[in-house]
Amino acid sequence: MRPLIDWIEDRTGLLSTVQHFLDEEIPASSGWKQVLGSVAMFIFFVQAFTGVMLGLNYGATPGEAYNSLRHIMTELSGGSLIRGLHHWGASMMVVVVVLHMVQVFLWGAYKKPREATWMVGVVLLLFTLGFALTGYLLPWDNRAYWGTVVTTQIAAGVPVMGPYVLRLMGAEDGVGVVTFARFYAAHVLILPALTFLLIVFHVYLVRRHGVAPEPGDELLPKEKFYPRQVFKDTVAVFVAFATMFTLAIVAKAPLGRLADPTDTTFIPRPEWYFQFLFQLLKYCEGPLELFATVVLPGLAVGGLFVVPFLDRAPMVKVTTRTLAFGVVVLCAIGWGGLTMAAIRETPASAAIAEAQGPMDWVELSPQEVAGVAYFENEKCASCHTLGLTDEGKPGPNLGTGGASRDAKWMIAHFKQPASVIPGSQMPPVALKANELNALASFLLKLTPQNAIKMGEVPVYAREGALVFMKNQCGLCHIVNGSGMNNGPPLNGLAKRRKADWLQAHFVNPQKFDPDSTMPSYKFTSRENAAITDYLLALP
């Protein structure tokens, strides 16, 4: 390997660059308190990677965003994990960057000659919050839509600059296509590039001025960055990723109902790290609203920038920095108290609205709606309840979100109940394999929040979904993120076609498009009406 290694080094200088980086001299007092910067940079690259993976299947328009994200979470292998890593990585990024800033502040590591390093760090903190703000809209569910409406209304209230900020957001006429495009561009194109450049500049400044030593340790012998500090950074990075991975598996990223601009009853709630500001607005109504939305945040950001110039005293031991500790504790109490108050005052209806998964039958896939039909046709309701309370039926209540089962277990149970649950009196379900899959898909969607609505799917929708599945329409068309993209997506069809056009098109597609490869279907009048009404009801 030596000739190859020498060739790489001679042509690129890569090996010597890495060696120079690892041989950086750091104070002997360095240790675990310095790992947060490395963790923050690692999480940024995780966010970039998972963002690219999501982007490969994400529809970057309001009409496709929700369905594509639902497709990622329910249909793609590993899609739910990638979305979970990205979702929880965003929260962890905020936590780690804030803790990193707090650590630097408490140790006084912002003092001369590291003022510029601190100020670049403040900008990176603002960019982190910018990522959180712009990414919030991209799922295009009700939570994201109405939370962004509140954000744009706050921006519109800024004196003098309000109308210009609103125009920059593309929200002069409300949150819509232009707003989505601006937020998407900022989140995917602008902020990542600027953040990467600032991270490189920040690392350069850290290398230029070195890690701040503990006061009194300046003359002690220094040590190399590798191996002791590299080991500690690696352990911290592993713990951070293990935490993100666990959260992505255990606490799945939320996806509520499709954004509905007419749903004025929805109670918007921001992400937890913005809830303190949301709660502060409740206490600062009327003329004081400007104080909560502009003055206080402006003073906080301005104060962070000028800290190195206000505190010009020599560095002292962290244990003697009582004023710095007092400021941090005061801010933590204010932020924590407002956040807890916001969480405590969240109405139960808002918590239900933010629950994961579809909250109405129109957002189910055709397979899942067909599963509702099979549930009814097989008289499953004679033994099982779909509700919040039991009704004295012999079978378990399927709407309580009890012990989770996978599709394989359910299908085996449908076929031979007594072999899976000894002593079960349930008769075998006489359905074909694809029909059993549909029934299992429906039951897997049940939660305490949506069980009642799932049991209220109208007859025409159940019959229409059965026709859809029987004729394998999903091989060419996408509905609610499920299916193939060989034909046009069928969501929002009511805005493009009338019922009589659809019914005639099923009978003779080539009459409307000579190049169409869609076969003609010999539906009965009831089947034609059912699938037409079902497709026109899709959001």
- Helices assigned H by DSSP within 251-362: 275-283, 289-290, 296-310, 322-344, 348-353
pLDDT at 473 over 90: yes
Place of tokens 């995917």: 188
**What is the distance between the alpha carbons of residues 132 and 118, in angstroms, rounded to a whole number?**
21
**What is the distance between the alpha carbons of residues 495 and 416, in angstroms, rounded to a whole number?**
45
Percent of the chain with pLDDT over 90: 54
Task: Say if residues 509 and 516 touch (Cβ distance below 8 Å).
Answer: yes
- Selection from 388-392, 442-446, 519-523 with the highest mean pLDDT: 519-523
Model pLDDT, residue 402: 46
Angle between helices 499-507 and 525-536 (to 10 degrees): 130
Q: Which helix (H) or strand (E) holds 479?
A: strand 478-479
Model pLDDT, residue 400: 64
pLDDT at 328 over 60: yes
Model pLDDT, residue 357: 43
Classify each residue of 390-423 as buried b or exposed e, where b means 16 or more C-beta atoms within 10 Å of its C-beta: eeeeeeebbbbeeeeeeeeebbebbeebeebeee
Q: What integer is the mean pLDDT of 282-302?
A: 89
Task: Say if residues 221 and 25 touch (Cβ distance below 8 Å).
Answer: no
pLDDT at 359 over 60: no
pLDDT at 224 over 70: yes
Model pLDDT, residue 261: 81
Model pLDDT, residue 528: 92
Strand partners of residue 478: 483
Domains assigned to the chain = 2-260+268-353 (1.20.810.10), 360-457 (2.60.40.420), 460-539 (1.10.760.10)
pLDDT digits (tens, 9 = 90+) for 417-430: 888 888 777 888 88
pLDDT at 119 over 50: yes
Model pLDDT, residue 515: 87
**What is the distance between the alpha carbons of residues 376 and 367, in angstroms, rounded to a whole number?**
14
Lowest mean pLDDT among 45-59, 66-80, 254-268, 395-409: 395-409
Q: What integer is the mean pLDDT of 65-91?
A: 91
**What is the distance between the alpha carbons of residues 153 and 135, in angstroms, rounded to a whole number?**
18
pLDDT digits (tens, 9 = 90+) for 83-103: 999 999 999 999 999 999 999
Model pLDDT, residue 354: 47
Task: Say if residues 344 and 162 touch (Cβ distance below 8 Å).
Answer: no
- What string of DSSP letters covers 134-166? HHTSTT-BHHHHHHHHHHHHHHHTSTTTHHHHH
Task: Say if residues 50 and 251 touch (Cβ distance below 8 Å).
Answer: no
Place 381 in a pLDDT band, splitting at 50, 70 and 90: confident
pLDDT digits (tens, 9 = 90+) for 230-260: 999 999 999 999 999 999 999 889 887 778 7
Place 454 in a pLDDT band, splitting at 50, 70 and 90: low
Q: What burial class does residue 503 get, using C-beta atoms within 10 Å of its C-beta: 0-12 exposed, 13-18 middle, 19+ buried?
A: middle
Please name the residues in contact with 81: beta carbons below 8 A apart, sequence gap of 6 or more: 248, 249
Please name the residues in contact with 432: beta carbons below 8 A apart, sequence gap of 6 or more: none
Identify the residue with better confidence: 306 or 444. Answer: 306
Model pLDDT, residue 136: 94
Please name the residues in contact with 501: beta carbons below 8 A apart, sequence gap of 6 or more: 512
Q: Which helix (H) or strand (E) holds 234?
A: helix 228-250
Q: Distance from first CA to last CA of the chain, Å, rounded?
A: 60
pLDDT digits (tens, 9 = 90+) for 511-533: 998 888 899 999 999 999 999 99
Strand partners of residue 224: 25
Place 67 in a pLDDT band, splitting at 50, 70 and 90: confident
- Determine how β-strand 25-26 pairs with β-strand 223-224: antiparallel
Q: What integer is the mean pLDDT of 401-408?
A: 67
**What is the distance between the alpha carbons of residues 298 and 302, in angstroms, rounded to a whole number?**
6
**What is the distance between the alpha carbons of residues 257 and 473, in angstroms, rounded to a whole number?**
24
Question: What totals of helices (H) and strands (E) does the chain contain, helices first?
Answer: 24, 4
**What is the distance between the alpha carbons of residues 1 and 7, in angstroms, rounded to a whole number?**
10
pLDDT digits (tens, 9 = 90+) for 130-175: 999 999 999 998 889 989 998 998 888 888 899 999 999 999 988 9
Q: What integer is the mean pLDDT of 467-495?
A: 89
- Selection from 278-287, 313-322, 364-373 with the highest mean pLDDT: 313-322
**What is the distance between the alpha carbons of residues 151 and 149, in angstroms, rounded to a whole number?**
5
**What is the distance between the alpha carbons of residues 524 and 443, in angstroms, rounded to a whole number?**
29
In the DSSP assignment, the letter for residue 253 is P
Please name the residues in contact with 445: beta carbons below 8 A apart, sequence gap of 6 or more: 357, 358, 364, 368, 454
- What string of DSSP letters covers 370-393? HHHHHHHHTTGGGT---SSS--S-
Length of the chain: 539
Identify the residue with better confidence: 364 or 25. Answer: 25
- Selection from 180-184, 448-452, 468-472 with the highest mean pLDDT: 180-184
Place 335 in a pLDDT band, splitting at 50, 70 and 90: very high
Tokens of 178: 């232009």
Where residue 532 falls (left for φ over 0; alpha for ψ -120 to 50; beta otherwise) is alpha
Task: Say if residues 131 and 93 touch (Cβ distance below 8 Å).
Answer: yes
Backbone torsions φ then ψ of 446, nearest 5 degrees: -70, 135
Q: Which of 233, 210, 234, 231 is nearest to 222 (CA)?
A: 210
Task: Say if residues 354 and 424 touch (Cβ distance below 8 Å).
Answer: no
Q: What integer is the mean pLDDT of 384-408?
A: 69
Place of tokens 């029987």: 470
Model pLDDT, residue 480: 85
Backbone torsions φ then ψ of 451, nearest 5 degrees: -60, -45
Model pLDDT, residue 442: 79
Place of tokens 């690696």: 234
Identify the residue with better confidence: 437 or 389. Answer: 437
pTM of the shown model: 0.70
**Arithmetic mean of pLDDT over the chain:** 88
pLDDT digits (tens, 9 = 90+) for 186-216: 999 999 999 999 999 999 999 999 999 888 7
Model pLDDT, residue 355: 43
pLDDT at 352 over 50: no
Percent of the chain with pLDDT over 70: 93
DSSP-derived 3-state class of residue 472: coil
